[in-house]
Structure formats: structure tokens, C-alpha cells
Amino acid sequence: MRSVPVLVCIAGGRVMTGGPGMGPTIVDTTLAHWRAHETLNIENVFLCVREMLRRRTKAPVADGRIVSMASVAGLRADEQTDAAYGSAKGAIVAFTRTAAKQAAPLGITVN
């Protein structure tokens, strides 16, 4: 089995419930809508990064890289972003920072 030195997490998106670019207010956000954003945006990043780190712990590679894509919506709110989407994207930013610290001893850079 060949070792993969690079992981790029770019999948994700919005679960649309309102008009174009609009989501529900916090008051109108259902738990199903919230969880759909968690699953689509952060859960999949977590699962992929966890697997990469598990594999690299057992079989190290030189100069490993993990890149995760979020959105500016994870850093600031605007009228085009609902709370579920922005929170999920913010979770990617926070998770990536934690992954960077934990992957560093394995020789893996995370951005």
C-alpha cells in the first residue's frame, strides 16, 4: 500500500432552506438543519483528518500536508449566511488549528 502524504478537505456547502443565499434565523433553525451543516461541513473533515493522522502514526511520511478549506463565513457573520453554516465553517477553522498542533510531531503541516 502506498503512503499518501497529502490530504485536501474541500467538500462542503450549504443546506438551503430559504431563498437564494438565505438561511433561517436562529429562532427558525431546526435541529435537523443544524446537524445537516455539521455533517456536511465539519464531520467529514474530522473523519478524513483523523484517518490521515492514524495512518501516519503507523507509517510516517516525510513532509506530510493537510489542507482544509472553510469560508469567510466561519470568521464573520453577514446577511447572506445563516448560523448553522457559519458555525460549521468556524468549526473547521478551529479544528484545523488543533489538528496543526497535534500533527506537527508527525512532520505534518496543517493549514
Among 23, 70, 84, 85, which one carries the catalytic annotation? 85
44 catalytic residue (yes or no): no
Contacts of 50 (CB under 8 A, 6+ apart): none
Residue 10's CB is within 10 A of a number of other CB atoms, namely: 9
* CA nearest to 23, candidates 36, 33, 11: 33
- Hey, is 65 helix, strand or coil? strand
- Tell me the catalytic residues: 85
